Amino acid sequence: MSDSPTNTLNTWVEVPKNSDFTIYNLPFGVFQNKRLSPRIGVAIGDKIVDLSVLDQEGFFSDMFLPEGVFLNESLNELIGLGKVITRKIRERVQDLLLEDNEKLRDHSARGKVMVNRKEATMLLPVKIGDYTDFYSSLEHAANVGKMFRDPENALLPNWKHLPVGYHGRASSIIASGTPIIRPKGQMKNPESNTLVFGPSKKLDFELELAFITGKSTKLGDSVSTADAEDYIFGFVLFNDWSARDIQAWEYVPLGPFLGKNFASSISPWVVTLEALEQFRETGPPQEPEVMSYLKCDKPHSFDIQLEAYIQPEEEKSSKVCSSNFKDMYWNVAQQLAHHTVNGCNINVGDMMASGTISGKERDSFGSMLELSWNGSEVVKLESGTERKFIEDGDTVLMRGFAEKNGVRVGFGELKTKVLPAK
């Protein structure tokens, strides 16, 4: 089944206007509700297709899937079956949801298959073994360099030669809707230049996307840019929470630690690479020329609009920035090729985040660090409330979507509330 924009697809499911979860999307996730144990589903409009019920009713019988593969608490086993299988499953679901296909539309089990999304609790989509965060936005890296180093030489000498990254903490990655607690740590008092310990005063979000690996490698093997997408199952929104004051004191010489490892939030629905194919774009030009193992034979960037909102308690949300994934200097194929060029092995369910995604204009900066220029300016919300960083009681929301030729593929919402330090 082709879902290119030249082939219009219509579904018998009622899909609200501007829904992220169109028949062109069909992202995978893990859900449960009051009567259902954790299981795997596919989102369409305001519904979830319960894949375990579809399987029980024989809709996948020709695929010879492992028994109970859709009754897992993560997608790991399913995506580990390989892209040939997961692509067939997604295409089968898409075919069953087409307007003129009566097989599921008129089936007696339709009521059990279609679950109301608002009645479901979404879980972490994958069991994350390892997590890497890159630093791949030229504009973000330049802004940070201007703020904290030499404005005339904002980028470090290595930045345009390799995708900079660091190994992060997988255990503290949480699902959308899970609140975080303000972190504590050591900081330097900027006025007295003395050390203090306490709750972070510069809590920040980072607007990112992350890809999930769907294929493992052996220790010592590398993945080329040409083969990289065979190892990428799909994408989620990613908020890499940061305590800027803790981070500023600790990060030299080995990089982020307590300023980052307390929490990162992800959206629950994994948008597949196949769903994003029609939004593929050529990324920014790379100068100087990259080494041969980082060269690409096709574009690996995607036109995905990203937005971040702040919602104080008892107030409506206000959009504070909007950027685009296509502006990333280092693309996902280069990230994975560099990550593995030294023989580092990857596993199914590993998560690779993009790093903060910022654009050239002030309203496209993907963090409060940049929007407030490290607290030297205020960010005004629609209510008139002002922010320099994220305060207790604030909820940060992130959204992402791709739209072209009347086709929309989105990620839904990533939502996290900040609670006071313990």
Asked if 345 and 273 sit in the same domain, the reply is yes
Tell me the mean pLDDT in the region 180-204.
Answer: 95
d(CA 403, CA 150): 39
Residue 194 lies in a domain: yes
Q: Does residue 36 form part of some domain?
A: yes
Distance CA 304, CA 302 (A): 6
Per-residue pLDDT tens for 11-21? 999 999 999 99
- Catalytic residue (choose from 107, 140, 167, 339): 140
Q: Indicate whether 50 and 140 sit together in one domain.
A: no
Last residue of a domain, one of 100, 122, 144: 122
What SS3 string covers 44-78? ECCEEEEHHHHHHCCCCHHHCCCCCHHHCCCCHHH
Residues 236 and 330 in one domain: yes
The pair of structure tokens assigned to 287 is 């100068």
Q: Would 176 be classed as within a structural domain?
A: yes
Cβ atoms of 11 and 285 closer than 8 Å: no
Q: What's 291's DSSP letter?
A: P
More confident of the two residues 267 and 150: 267
Owner of token pair 């607007």? 207
Q: Say if residue 273 is in the same domain as residue 387.
A: yes
**Per-residue pLDDT band at 190 (split at 50, 70, 90):** confident
pLDDT at residue 7, as a whole number? 75
Query: Among 168-182, 188-202, 216-230, 310-324, which stretch is predicted with the lowest mean pLDDT?
Result: 188-202
Greatest Cα pair distance, the chain, in angstroms, is 72
Q: Kindly state whether residue 6 falls inside one of the protein's structural domains.
A: no
Q: What is the average pLDDT across 124-135?
A: 98
| Residue 229 and residue 358 in one domain | yes
User: Does 139 lie in the same domain as 116?
Assistant: no
Q: What is the pLDDT of residue 192?
A: 86
Mean pLDDT, residues 237-253 taken together: 96
Q: Are 210 and 298 found together in one domain?
A: yes
Count of domains forming the chain: 2
Both 294 and 196 in one domain: the answer is yes
Q: Are residues 270 and 334 in the same domain?
A: yes
What pLDDT score was predicted for residue 1? Answer: 45
Please check whether residue 368 lies inside any domain of the structure: yes
Domain that holds residue 136: 131-419
Query: Considering just the CA atoms, what is the radius of gyration of the chain in Å?
Result: 22
Instruction: For residue 140, indicate whether it is catalytic.
Output: yes
Phi, psi dihedrals of residue 301, rounded to the nearest 5°: -105, 160
pTM of the model: 0.96
Read off the CATH number of the domain in which 400 is found. Answer: 3.90.850.10
d(CA 272, CA 383): 37
* Distance from C-alpha of 57 to C-alpha of 355, rounded to nearest angstrom: 42
pLDDT tens, residue by residue, 362-409: 999 999 999 999 999 999 999 999 999 999 999 999 999 999 999 999
Beta-ladder partners of 6? none
From 87, 122, 157, the end of a domain falls on 122
The residue out of 56, 88, 122 marking a domain boundary is: 122
Share of the chain above pLDDT 70, in %: 99
Share of the chain above pLDDT 90, in %: 96
The rounded mean pLDDT for the chain is 96
User: What pLDDT, in 10s, does the model give residues 29-52?
Assistant: 999 999 999 999 999 999 999 999
Cα separation, 292 vs 389, in Å, equals 41
Tokens of 107: 């089936």
Look at residue 131 in the predicted model and tell me its pLDDT.
98
pLDDT tens sequence across 279-289:
999 999 999 99
Of 108, 9, 40, give the one whose Cα is nearest residue 270.
40
10 domain residue, yes or no: no
Q: For residue 191, what pLDDT is reported?
A: 83
Task: Identify which of 413, 406, 414 has the alpha carbon closest to the alpha carbon of residue 24.
Answer: 406
Q: Are residues 161 and 110 in the same domain?
A: no
* 3-class SS string, 146-189: HHHCCHHHCCCCCCCCCCCEEEECCCCEEECCCCEECCEEEEEC
What pLDDT score does 2 carry?
A: 44
Co-location of 250 and 268 in the same domain: yes
Return the closest-CA partner of residue 411 out of 3, 20, 38: 20
Q: Are 420 and 184 in contact (CB under 8 A)?
A: no
Write phi, then psi, for 239 (nearest 5 degrees): -115, 105
The answer to whether residue 268 is domain-embedded is yes
283, 181: one domain: yes
Supply the pLDDT for residue 384: 95
Kindly report the CATH number assigned to the domain that includes residue 114.
2.30.30.230
64 Rama class: left (phi>0) / alpha (psi -120 to 50) / beta: left
In-domain check, residue 362: yes
